[in-house]
Structure 1
Amino acid sequence: TFIKKILDGIFITEYNATCGADVSLVNFSTNYGIDLTFEVWDTAGQELKSKLSDAYYIGAHAAMIFYDVTSSITYTNFPHWQRRIVDVCFGETQIPIILCGNKVDCSNRKVKEKMIARTLKSGNLMYTEISAKTNYNFEMPFLALARKLTGKDDLTFVSNLNLKPADLPIDPKSVEDSNKFMQELAAVSENINLQDDE
Structure 2
Amino acid sequence: MVADRRTKFKVVLVGDGGTGKTTYIHRILEGVFIKDYVATCGARVYQINFNTNYGFQLEFDVWDTAGQELKSMLSDAYYINSDAAMIFFDVTSKVTFVNVPNWLRRIQAVCCGDKHIPIVLCGNKVDCSNRKVKEQFIARSLKSGITMYVEISAKTNYNFELPFLALARKLTGIDNLTFVSNLNLKPADIPIDIKSIEESNRIMVELQNARDI
* TM class, shorter-length: 0.7 to 0.9
Q: Is the 8 A contact 1:9 1:27 kept in 2?
A: no
Tell me the residue number matched to 1:173: 195
1:113-169 Cα offsets, whole Å, 9 max, x none, are 121111111114311010001111000000000000001110000123222221112
Alignment CA distance shift 1:51-1:142 (3 Å): closer
Seq. identity, %: 67
Partner of 2:126: 104
Return structure 1 stretches of 4+ with deviation > 3 angstroms. 186-190
Listed one character per residue, the Cα deviations across residues 19-59 of structure 1 (whole Å, up to 9, x for unaligned) are: 33221000000011110010001115615527762111011
8 Å CA contact 1:9, 1:24 repeated in 2: no
CA contact 2:148–2:208 (8 Å) conserved in 1: no
The match for 1:3 is 25
Aligned to 2:16: none
Residue of 150, 154, 173 corresponding to 1:151 = 173
Structure having the larger proportion of residues in helix: 1
User: Which residue is 2:38 aligned to?
Assistant: 15
1:79 to partner: Cα distance:
0.8
Q: TM-score, normalised by structure 1?
A: 0.87
Question: Does residue 1:78 correspond to 2:100, yes or no?
Answer: yes
Is 1:87 the counterpart of 2:112 in the alignment?
no
Count how many residue pairs are aligned between Structure 1 and Structure 2.
189
Which residue of 52, 59, 70 maps to 1:30? 52
* Consecutive unaligned residues in structure 2, runs of 5 or more: 1-22
Q: TM-score when scaled to structure 2? A: 0.82
Secondary structure of the corresponding residue to residue 38 of structure 2: coil
Distance in 2, matches of 1:104 and 1:51, equals: 28
* AA at the equivalent of 1:36: L
**Which consecutive unaligned segments of at least 5 residues does structure 1 have?**
194-198
